[in-house]
A and B are shown apart, each in its own frame.
Chain A
Amino acid sequence: MKSKNIINLQTFTGGIHPHLDKSLTGRKKFKPIKLPSKVRLPLSQHIGAPSKPVVKVGDIVKEGQVIAEASGFVSVPLHASISGKITAIKKFPVCSGKHSMCIEITNTETKTEINSTENTNDWKKFTPDQLKTMVEEAGIVGLGGAAFPTHVKLSPPNNKKIDIVIGNGVECEPYLDADRNTMVSSPDKVIGGIQIVMKILGCGKGAVGIESDTPDAINAMSQKTENISSINIVPLKLKYPQGAEKQLIYAVTKKEVPCGGLPMDVGVVVINVGTAVAIYDAVVYSKPLYERNMTIAGNCLNESVNINVRVGALLNDIIDEIGGFKTLPSKIILGGPMMGQTVYLLDIPVTKGTSGILCLNEKEISIFKMGACIRCGKCLDICPMGISPAQIAQAIEFNNTDIAQQLGVFDCMECGCCTYVCPSNREIVQLIKLAKQQIKNKG
C-alpha cells in the first residue's frame, strides 16, 4: 500500500476526538477462555420479531443446534451456544433491565466437544440464493451493536441496485478493540465474508474502511487484498463516530444517505467485519452464529482482554473467568462508553449485539450537574447528522414533541457527541431518547 499523507485521509463532517484509551487491552490478541457452564439465550436478541422456541425443558441439545426458529421475515433463528440440557424457558433479566423470555442451557457433560471444522465448503460454487439462505439459517445479525438481521440487509428491493459493499472496520468507540483484533487475526475470513456478500448482491465493488490508528489492521488487510482488485482498503482519518453507517458511507464513497433513508437508497450495503467473519464461517464451515468477539476493559478489572465469548454467557461468569474485579466498579456498560447501555445487574447474558463489557471506576466516569443551555453552538458544530441538538433538547424539556419532530429528532443516531462537548453538561442524548419514546407512544 502506498503511504498516504495523514492529512489527506478521507472522513466525514462533524464529529469529535474522545480520549480513546485503547491501551488497556494493549492491542492484545484474543485470550482463550473456558466454555461457560450455563448460558441464557434471550429469544429477542435482534431487531424484529422474537424467535419461537422449538425445544422443551429437559431436552438435550448439541452445540450449534437450532433451539428457536425465526417468526417472520425480520427475525432470525437461535442456536445453542453450548452442549447440554435445557433447564428453563422463562423470563430472566436481560441487558435492557427488563425481564425477557430466555432459554437456559446447563452444561452437563464434563468434557467439551471439539468443534469439527474439517468439512469445508467452497463458497464459490453456491448460487447467490443458496448463500443467502445459509446466512439466514445461521441466525446472523449485525454484530456492530444494532443486531439487525443480516439476511434482510442482503435482500434489497428489485429496483435498488447495490454498487458497493463496505466492510466496517472502524471501531471508533473508546476502549473497544475487538474488531481490530478480528482483522489482524483472520483477515482472509473478513475478505471472504465481504466477497460472499458481494456475490449475493451481485455487485462488483467492495471496500473496507479502517481508521488510521490501527496500522496493523490496515497492513494485514492490505496484504490479503493485493491480488483481489475488486476490494479496496480505505484508511480513514481518526474521528468519532466514523463507525456509524451513514458517516462511514460518506467517508468512503462521499455519498450522502437521505433523511430517514437506508444505505441501500444510495446503492451501498455496510457489513461489520465481525459480521463478515460470521458469514464466512456460516458458509464455509457451516457454523451458525453462537459466539462473538468482544472487548472486556476497564481499570476495575485485573486484566482487560479481547475474548471470544459464547452468546448467552452470563456477565458474572465471564468476569470471573478473566480474573475478576480489582476494585468494585462504579459503572458497568455493555457496548462502548459513548453509545452503550448501562447495566445494574451482573446476572444477565451477553447477546449477539454486545460488542464489549466496560467496568469503569470513579475516575473514568464523570458525574455532573446538568446546567442550562448557554447557546454556545458547540453541539451544532460537531453534530455528524447536521441537526440542532440543543434546540431539540430544549423543546423536549418543555414537553414540546411537535417542535422536536420538526427539528429532526428522528435523524439523531444518539452518538453522544453533543453531550460530550457540552460545556454546560447537558444530558442532550437522554432528552432526545425521551423525545423519541414520547413521540412513539403518542402514535
Chain B
Amino acid sequence: MSNSVIVFSITVLGSLGLIFGLCLALASHFFYVKMDKRIENIYNALPNFNCGACGYPGCKKYAENIVKNNASINLCTPGGVETAQKIALVMGIEHNGENKRQVAYVFCCGGNDAKILSDYQGIKDCNCAVLVSGGPLQCDYGCMRFYSCVKVCKFDAIRINNKGLPEIIPEKCTGCMACVKQCPKDIIKMIPADARVFINCSSKDRGKQVMDACSTGCIGCTKCVKACPVQAIQMDEGLAVIDQEKCVKCLKCIDVCPVKVITTTKQQKG
C-alpha cells in the first residue's frame, strides 16, 4: 500500500468531518431554542419522585407550570418547606406560607373483627369489590382488606399490621395522597404529622348497627366529647372526630372510651 492512499483518505475524511462540524455549529446557533434556566433549577430542587401530589403529571411539568403559569410554589408535599424555600429562591419571591407536613392515616380498626357478609370471589381489588353490593363487609365504612392502597403507594409507606389492616408509616409517608384517592370507602384521611390521638373508626351508623357489624367501632356515645378539656372532639353525624389543631394530647378521651376505639402513638421525633 502506497503512502498516497493513506494521505488521501485522511484528507477526505478530515475535511468531511470539518464540514459536518461546521454545519452542526451553525445549526446549533441558528436553531437554538431559548430555555428558561429557572425551569432547570426548579426541577433540580424538586425531589423527583413524580408522585403527582402537586396535581401535575410529574416534577418536570410542575417546574414548567411554576415558571410559565404561576403555579403555587408550595404544592410539593414530599419536598415540604425546604423545597418550597428553594423554589422561592429560584423564582426570586418570598416564601411565607407555612406548609405543615401532613400524613395519611387509616381510620378503621375493624380488621379481623369486622363481620363479613359474603365470600367475595371477584378481582382482589378494593374498587372492584365495592362494585358488588357495596363490598363484602357488613360495615359500610370498614376496610375490606384488598390492599389497593398498599399497591398504589410509591414510597413503600404502608405496611399491614397484625389485625390485617393497612397502616401508614408516618416517617415514610410523603403525603402524596395517592392512597386517599384510591380508597373507595374514603377511610384514609390526611392528618398533621404531629397528631398523636386517633379515633380509629369512620362509621356514621347508629350504635346498634356498629356493634352488629364490628366489635370495635365508634358507637357515638359522646363520652369523649364530654371528657375533652379543650373541646377538641366534635360529633359528626354519630361519629366522634378530633380537631388535631386543638388537641393537647392529655389522653383523657382514651380512658373514657367504652369501646376502646381511641388510641395514641408514642411521642416520636417530628
Which single member of B125, B128, B133 contacts A97 (CB below 8 Å)?
A: B133
From residue A21, how far is it (CB to closest CB) to chain B in Å? 21
Question: Would you give the shortest CB distance from B176 to chain A, in whole angstroms?
Answer: 15
Interface size on A, residues (CB 8 A): 19
Residue B131 lies at the interface, judged by CB distance under 8 Å to chain A: yes
Residue B121 lies at the interface, judged by CB distance under 8 Å to chain A: yes
Q: Bound state CA distance, A341 and B118, in angstroms?
A: 14
Known: A99-B140, A367-B121, A427-B122. A342 touches B132 (CB 8 A): yes
Residue of A nearest to B152 (CB): A399
Complex: A238 Cα to B127 Cα, angstroms: 36
User: Can you add 13 more A-B contacts, CB < 8 Å, to A341-B133, A427-B122?
Assistant: A97-B133, A342-B133, A344-B117, A344-B118, A367-B121, A427-B123, A427-B128, A430-B123, A430-B131, A431-B123, A433-B131, A434-B128, A437-B131
* Closest 9 pairs (CB-CB, A-B): A97-B134, A97-B133, A344-B117, A344-B118, A98-B134, A344-B133, A367-B121, A433-B131, A427-B123
Residues of chain B within 8 A (CB-CB) of A400 are none
**A430 and B128 contacting across the interface, CB-CB below 8 Å:** yes
Interface string of A79-101 (1 = CB under 8 A from B): 00000000000000001111100
Could you tell me the distance in whole angstroms from the C-beta of A168 to the nearest C-beta in chain B?
A: 26
Alpha-carbon distance A390/B47, docked complex (angstroms): 38
In the complex, B135 has a CB within 8 A of chain A: yes
Chain A residues, Cβ within 8 Å of B136 = 344
Bound together, the chains give a CA A99 to CA B122 distance in angstroms of 22
Q: How long is the Cα–Cα vector from A345 to B117 in the complex, in angstroms? A: 8
Q: Which of these, A98, A433, A434, A438, contacts B140 with CB under 8 Å? A: A98
Q: Determine how close the nearest CB of chain B comes to the CB of A327; give it in whole angstroms.
A: 16
Residues of B within 8 A of A95 (CB): 133
Contacts of A427 in B (CB 8 A): 122-123, 128
Kindly list chain B residues whose C-beta atoms are within 8 Å of the C-beta of A98. 134, 140
Number of interface residues of B (CB under 8 A): 15
Instruction: List the A side residues contacting B125 at CB < 8 Å.
Output: 434
* B 205-229 to A, binary, CB cutoff 8 A, 1 in contact else 0: 0000000000000000000000000
Q: Does A96 contact B128, Cβ atoms closer than 8 Å?
A: no
Task: Tell me the dominant secondary structure on chain B's binding face.
Answer: loop
Task: Write 7 A-B pairs (CB below 8 A) sorted by A numbering.
Answer: A95-B133, A97-B135, A98-B140, A99-B140, A341-B132, A341-B133, A343-B133
Query: Which residues of A in the span 337-359 have a Cβ within 8 Å of any Cβ on B?
Result: 341-345
Q: Tell me if A33 is interfacial: C-beta within 8 Å of chain B.
A: no
Q: For A434, what are the chain B residues with a Cβ–Cβ distance below 8 Å?
A: 123, 125, 127-128, 131
Asked whether any CB of chain B lies closer than 8 Å to the CB of A370, the reply is yes
Chain A: minimal CB distance from B48 (Å): 21
B123 A96 Cβ-Cβ under 8 A: no
Set of chain B residues within 8 Å of A431, measured between Cβ atoms: 123, 128
Please indicate the chain B residues that have their CB under 8 angstroms from the CB of A99 in the complex: 140
Bound-state Cα–Cα, A343 to B136, Å? 10
List which A311-368 residues lie within 8 A (CB) of chain B: 341-345, 367
Residues in B neighbouring A430, C-beta threshold 8 A:
122-123, 128, 131-132
A196 → chain B closest CB, angstroms: 37
Q: How many Å from the CB of B154 to the closest CB on chain A?
A: 13
B-facing mask of A401-443, CB < 8 A → 1, else 0? 0000000000000000000000000010011011001100000
Interface string of A92-117 (1 = CB under 8 A from B): 00011111000000000000000000
Residues of B within 8 A of A344 (CB): 117-118, 133, 136
With a cutoff of 8 Å between Cβ atoms, the chain B residues found around residue A367 in the complex are 121
Instruction: Given A434-B127, A438-B127, answer yes or no on A96-B133 (Cβ-Cβ < 8 Å).
Output: yes
**What are the residues of chain A within 8 A of B122 when measuring CB–CB?**
427, 430
Closest residue on chain B to residue A365 by CB atoms: B121
> Which residues of the partner chain A approach B140 to less than 8 Å between Cβ atoms?
98-99
CB B120 to nearest CB in A, in angstroms, measures 9
For A97, A99, A343, A427, the residue with the greatest tally of chain B CB atoms inside 10 Å of its CB is A97
| CB proximity of B206 to chain A, nearest CB, Å | 10
**Please, how many angstroms separate the alpha-carbon atoms of A433 and B128 in the complex?**
8
**Alpha-carbon separation in the docked complex, A315 to B72 (Å):** 55
Tell me which of B127, B128, B133 has the highest count of chain A C-beta atoms within 10 A of its own C-beta. B133
CA distance A88 to B32 in the complex (A): 75
* Cα–Cα distance between A431 and B127 once the two chains are bound (Å): 10
How far apart sit A164 and B133, CA to CA, in the bound complex (Å)? 37
Q: Which residue of B lies closest to A426 (CB)?
A: B123
Please report the C-alpha to C-alpha distance between residue A433 and residue B135 in the assembled complex, in whole angstroms.
15
Closest to B131 in A: A433
Whole-angstrom distance between the alpha carbons of A367 and B119 in the complex?
A: 11
Q: Which residue of A lies closest to B134 (CB)?
A: A97
Which residues of the other chain, A, contact B135 by a CB distance below 8 angstroms? 97
CB of B70 to closest CB in A, whole Å? 24
